[in-house]
Amino acid sequence: MLKLAYLTHSNTSNSETFIADLINGLNLNQDIELTFISGNSISVKTDASYPIINAGFSDCKPSLKNRIYRISQLRNKGEQNLLNFEKWLAQKQLRKCKLPSFDIAFIEYATTAVLIAGYLEANRIPFIVHVHGYDITSATNNVAYKKDLEKLFAKAKYFIAASNYIKRRLILLGCDEEKIKVIHLGVSGENIYPQVWKEKTQKPPSIIFLGRLTEKKHPVALLHAFKIVRNQIPDATLSIIGDGYLKEIVLNTIVELNLKECVTIHGALSREESFPLLNNHWIYAQHSVTATSGDTEGFAISMAEAALHGLPVVSTIHNGIVENVIESKTGYLVPEYDYEAMAQKIIYLIQNPKIAEQMGKAGREHILKLCEPGKRVEKIKTLLFEAAKKQQ
Is a pLDDT exceeding 90 seen at residue 69?
Answer: no
Give 238's strand partners: 207, 263
Give the pLDDT confidence of 177-200 residue by residue, as tens digits. Answer: 999 999 999 988 888 999 999 999
Residue 17, pLDDT score: 75
Helix extents (H) in the chain: 17-27, 62-73, 78-96, 110-122, 143-155, 164-173, 197-200, 219-232, 247-256, 271-279, 301-308, 321-324, 339-351, 353-370, 373-391
- What pLDDT sits at residue 73? 58
Q: Residue 49 has what pLDDT?
A: 84
Confidence of residue 83 (pLDDT cuts 50, 70, 90): confident
Average pLDDT, integer, range 26-53: 82
pLDDT of residue 133 exceeding 90, the answer is no
Share of the chain above pLDDT 90, in %: 73
Mean pLDDT of the chain: 91
- Torsion sign (Cα): 242, 244, 248, 252: negative
pLDDT of residue 128: 98
Query: pLDDT value at position 299?
Result: 85
pLDDT computed for residue 329 by the predictor = 98
Query: Does the domain made of 2-186+372-391 have the CATH classification 3.40.50.2000?
Result: yes
User: Given this chain, do its domains 2-186+372-391 and 197-370 carry the same CATH topology?
Assistant: yes
| Average pLDDT rounded to a whole number, residues 22-30 | 89
317-321 mean pLDDT: 93
Which are the contacts of 65, defined by CB distance < 8 A and separation ≥ 6?
A: 82, 85, 86
What is the average pLDDT across 161-166? 93
Contact call for residues 241 and 268 (beta carbons, < 8 A): yes
What's the rounded mean pLDDT across residues 118-142?
Answer: 94
Instruction: Give the model's confidence band at 75: pLDDT under 50 very low, under 70 low, under 90 confident, else very high.
Output: low
The domain ranges of the chain are 2-186+372-391, 197-370
Give me the pLDDT at residue 361, please.
98
SS percent in the chain: helix, strand, coil, step 5: 50, 15, 35
At residue 285, the 3 state secondary structure works out as strand
Question: What pLDDT was estimated at residue 11?
Answer: 63
Residue 70 has pLDDT above 90, yes or no: no
Pick the more confident residue, 52 or 236: 236
**In 3-state terms, what secondary structure has residue 217?**
helix
Name the 3-class secondary structure at 25.
helix
**pLDDT at site 78:** 66
Cα dihedral 107, 109, 110, 115 sign? negative
173 class by beta-carbon count within 10 Å (0-12 exposed, 13-18 middle, 19+ buried):
middle
Confidence of residue 21 (pLDDT cuts 50, 70, 90): confident
Domain covering 197-370, topology: Rossmann fold (3.40.50)
What is the average per-residue pLDDT within 307-332?
96
Percentage of the chain modeled with pLDDT above 70: 92
Model confidence pLDDT, tens digit, residues 194-249: 999 999 999 999 999 999 999 999 999 999 999 999 999 999 999 999 999 999 99
Check pLDDT > 80 for residue 307.
yes
Q: Determine which of 3-12, 131-140, 212-221 has the lowest per-residue pLDDT on average.
A: 3-12
Give me the mean pLDDT over the 118-123 stretch: 96
Q: Is the pLDDT of residue 301 over 70?
A: yes
